[in-house]
Structures are given as C-alpha cells and as structure tokens.
A and B are shown apart, each in its own frame.
Chain A
Amino acid sequence: MTVIPVEKKVLSENQRIAASLRDRFEDHGTLCLNLISSPGSGKTTLLEQTLGGFRPEERVAVLTGDLQTENDAKRLARYGFPVQQITTGGVCHLDGKMIERALERWSLDAIDLLFIENVGNLVCPSSYDLGEEAKIVLLSVTEGEDKPLKYPSIFAKSELLVLTKVDLLPHVPFKMEEARANARLVHPGIEILELSCATGQGLEEWRTCLSRRRETALQRICAARA
C-alpha cells in the first residue's frame, strides 16, 4: 500500500475556471455580481426593478439559473437587456463551467455590469466560485431571522445582505434586529440593506450601492493596469 499525499481542493477544477472568468471580467472591466437566496426571496423581482431603473444604453446583462424552467428569463427579457437562462437540469447551483459556456454567446466588451441570478438555494451555491466580484445574499422577512446561523457559509462569503419584502414586516413575526445581529455574528463586516420592491423602499440605496461597487471595481482595474 502506498499513501500519496494530495492536498488539493476538491473543487479545484471549478476554482481554475472561476479564476479564468475573474481575469476575463477584469480585462473587460465587467463587474459581475452573484445573487444568492432561498427560492422565493425575491431575486427576480429585485432584478426586474433594477433593470427597469437603467437607461436603455447602459450595458447590463443577466444570467439566470434555474433547475428547470425559463420563466425568470422571460420576465427579465422584457426590459430590453441581454438575458440568458441557464437551465441546470436539476443541479442545485451554478458552476464555473456553466457560466463559461453561457458567455460564449456574448461579448464581454459589451457588458459593464453582469448579474448572475443563482439557483434558489442557500447551501450549494456558496461552494462554487463563479469568478464574481461579490456574492450578494437575499433574505426575505417571510423567512426566519435565524437563517444566517443555519446557513453560515453563504452569509460569511457574501459582501452584502439584502433584506427583502420589508413592507410585510407588520404582518410577519420576523425580528429585524435579530436578523441583522445574526448576520453580523457570522460576518462582522457584512453590509446590510433593507428594501421592498412593492413600495420602493431601499431601492435608491441599492442603486447607489451598485454604482459604488462599479466605481470601486473600475478604480481597482485601472490601478492594476497603470
């Protein structure tokens, strides 16, 4: 018997692809954001509101992942920006290869801001790097405020937590302060936004946050090239 030490990441193949995607995003100055949440937390609705707020000449695109259907892509395509559905056929997350394949159909030269809407799931997507600039996790007030403690990995890896459907707060037992505290326990530096697509509350902050991220990313890319 021979023991061969390996010491490799199990998902090293995905990480290799993610690193090459990250290089490509950097080269083209594309800001890529990976949106993750449980099913029904409002990722598609938030993206609809977001796309609706861009001017037609802005260079925005969306890759949306789903287990089976193409409904999300249809909803998002109405805003006139390029949208592609990645149907995973039962796989509960998007991986680097799926993103690479989808991008074969687009030129990153024409995309400044790329949203990836991951499959509705708080567990699996957290293990797969897609070369994104940042992961953004959504949590709706119709879920439990203990979700950050139950699924620490995704909250620890996300730079921004968006608490959605806050217009429903009077009708649900969700404890906002506890949710924020739980998220901060897992990830002390996490940025937190509260918003409601129904009333528009928080959407302005969300847009500001997007443009700030885009600016920071551009500055970093320019500094690296200089």
Chain B
Amino acid sequence: MTALQDKPAMPVEKASGSVVATLFRFQSVFGLLAVFVAAIIFSPRRDGAILFLSADNLANVVRAVSEIGIIAVGMTFVILIGGIDLSVGAVLGLAAVGSAVLMVESDWGFLPSIVVVLAIGLVFGALQGMATAMIGIQSFIVTLAGLQIARGLARIWSDGQGVAIAYGDGPNEAPSTFALLGERTFGGLVPIPVLIFAVVAIAAVVFLRISAFSRHLYAVGGNEKAARLSGVPVIRVKIAVFAICGLLASLAGIVHAVQLNQGSPNDGIGYELDAIAAVVIGGTSLAGGRGSVAGTVAGALLLGVLNNILALNNIDSNIQLLIKGLVIVAAAALQRLRPAS
C-alpha cells in the first residue's frame, strides 16, 4: 500500500488522467455500451422490430436490475473502505418478510412499517460495522455470521412460510399505498422500483461528491493506518458505511416484497454475489480506495442487459452462468491493467 498522499484525496471521478486512464475509469460504461450494442445486434426480431429495444423489454431490464442495483450501491461503499458485506441478500429477505408481516399480519400502516423495516436494516448494518471496526473481526467473517443471523430471524419472524401480500383496507391486507411502489409511472413505462434505484444512485453520487465523509471513505479504503494517523474517525466511518449498506439492503427487500406480492424468508439467496459482481464490473477495487457508484450502476445495468439478451435468445441456463462468469473475470482483468493513478 502506498502512503495516503499518493491516493486521490477526493473521489476518483474527479481525478484527472490521460486518455487511457479515462478509458479505464469508465470501463464499465464502455462495457455497458458494448453489451448494449451487442444486444441490439443479437436481438431476435419480430416483424422487423428489434425485440430487445421494445419499450416493454427495456422496462423489464431495468425493473429486474433495480433490487440488485440498490444493494450494489451500498456494497460499493463497503468495498470502497476495503470491506465486504455478505449479509445483504439475507437482510433483503428479512426486510421482505418484515414488511409483509407488519403490514399484512400486524395490520400496521404503510409508513410505520417501512420506517421500522428500514431501521432494522440500518441497525443490523451498524452492528456489523461495530463488530468489524471495534472488535476488529474481518468484515467477511462478521457479515458471514450476519447472513446466518438475518436468515434465521427472517425464518423465525415468518414461521418459515412465505407471507402473501394482498392489498386493501381490510384486516390482513396491506395498505394500497404500498402497492403503488410496485406500479409503473410515466405512461405505464417506468416501474417505480427503477425510480427508487435511480434516486438511491443519484443520492449516493451526490453524497460522494459533496460530503467530507467521502474523503474519509476513500482514505480508509486507501490506507487505514495512514487515515487513522491523519485524524480520520475510522471507526465511525466504518460503522456508518455498514449501516448505509444494511439500510439499502432493507430498502431493496421492501421493493422485492412489493414486486412479488410476498415476503419469503428464502428471498434474496445469492443476491450478495450478484451485487459484488456489479461492483467489480463497475471497476471498484476489492482492495478498497478506488471506485465509483456510477461505475457500479453501469455494472449492474450491464449484468441486467446481459441476462436479458441471453434469455431472449434462450441460451441454455448453464451456458448463461458460464458467460456471466467470464464477463466478471474480464472486468477484473481489466482492473489489473489499469494505471496506478
């Protein structure tokens, strides 16, 4: 690890560099463009129309990406400080169960349910942050345990059963306000979950650009010891980052429940790996200190477009896995070639 001053003291997006550096910095954006163009070329056609480009299909792509995208934004923060969060899929399941149980079985209102579920994710994340920052357990281990705990809590809370969500004003019905979260807007074209994802992503980008916190974030990820010596409140930064990640996983769980009309304790199995994949493709270094939310968003969209075009062409599901694996390796390999600063 180099000394702190060798690392950009500001978000990487602002770091200046040569043309090559720029290319690498926006690796995932170019990757997304390439996959998008390939999707158009390889899209099945019906009556001369390119099916991939149909408004309905593009809406499906972004809708399917929104949950992983929301989680991946939180994961970016964690990975930026050199950590990892394996609990996000299980926290998503816990939040999906929580919103269903509170609104359907306990007949809570929309707002209190959402606030409590988000708070659960926030506190859960903060506790994991404390365990890793204050006790000094590696985040991989802490969140591996967190995964089991969140999954266990979800199973206990739901009695191990999926909790079906019906909408209405009666008892055992979720408020119709909740149903709106799963609807579409702008002429029935844009799913609300996509708007939520967009808001989260924009807020994260803005936050990283304007807050002093972001300097701390990159400093901790770049060189924790140097950051501590230069007065960065490392422990507070870590706790905050895991809290944000838990909060966003919870938000994704709420979106998940409303999209599927059910909260099941088995929801979100393996989602942590998809989120990590999006972050890696987005060019964020797993060693910490380098990367951007914009890259992650592009990475998530890239995976979404890839999933969609493979499915539209009915590529065998085993070969789909193979292709996705190769894309992740390719993205990581590009990282290694990237100039140091």
Say whether A associates with B: no
Q: B residues bordering A, Cβ < 8 Å?
A: none
